[in-house]
Amino acid sequence: MGIYDFKVTARDGNEVSLSDYKGKVLLIVNTATGCGFTPHYEPLEAMYKEYRDQGFEILDFPCNQFADQAPGSDDEIHEFCTLKFGTEFPQFKKIDVNGETADPLFAYLGTEKPFKGFGKGIKNKALEKFADANNKKYGDAVYVKWNFTKWLVDREGNVIARFEPTYDMDDVKKAVADAL
């Protein structure tokens, strides 16, 4: 099974096949509107505006599994993102990314590129402990440690990188540019 075999649900409830994105570079992100990393929407939208004409897409999947940081409805989340950050990239229906109810796409992404750590530093270690405590309830089915985890997919559908929310957005941008 590959990335193009998955189907996801658009915000309006319609099914979307990821095969619709064949030939594009994708950045797949799980997001939340009430997270300390929510400002990532700004550099994400800037990247989208800069690179979308070169075949780049960002696929945004809101998730409320991390300290209830995305409690709103799909419409409320979309309104927040478009009004506060001017986002134009596709935003899909809110999903689960961990546990028995994890969306199969995120189980696949988490298996293809598993968590390797948030990085060094006191804040990152603290986030790892907090994330571990939050995610205990999902047992062995923890594919995502926290909001704003990003997976980079090349034009052939290969998952080539994973970026935790603590990674520098300039590094994400450089990887996207290299993939294009």
Q: What is the pLDDT of residue 123?
A: 87
**What does each C-alpha distance from 148 to 19, 66, 168 come to in angstroms?**
23, 11, 12
CA angle 27, 129, 100 (to 5 degrees): 60
Return the SS3 of 140: coil
Instruction: Enumerate domains of the chain plus CATH numbers.
Output: 3-179 (3.40.30.10)
Q: How many C-beta neighbours within 10 Å does residue 57 have?
A: 17
User: What backbone phi and psi angles, to 5 degrees, belong to 78?
Assistant: -60, -45
d(CA 54, CA 47) in angstroms, rounded, equals 11
Return the SS3 of 138: helix
| Catalytic residue from among 16, 29, 35, 81 | 35
pTM for the predicted model, two decimal places: 0.95
d(CA 85, CA 19) in angstroms, rounded, equals 28
d(CA 40, CA 42) in angstroms, rounded, equals 5
Q: What is the pLDDT of residue 1?
A: 83
Q: Which residue type is seen at 146?
A: W
Q: What is the pLDDT of residue 137?
A: 93
Write down the H helix ranges in 21-179.
41-51, 74-85, 104-112, 122-135, 169-179
Q: What is the pLDDT of residue 15?
A: 97
Q: How many C-beta neighbours within 10 Å does residue 109 have?
A: 24
The predicted-structure confidence for 108-142, as pLDDT tens digits, reads as follows: 999 999 999 999 888 899 999 999 999 999 998 99
Question: Does the annotation count 81 as an active-site position?
Answer: no
The predicted-structure confidence for 138-180, as pLDDT tens digits, reads as follows: 998 999 999 999 999 999 999 999 999 999 999 999 999 999 9
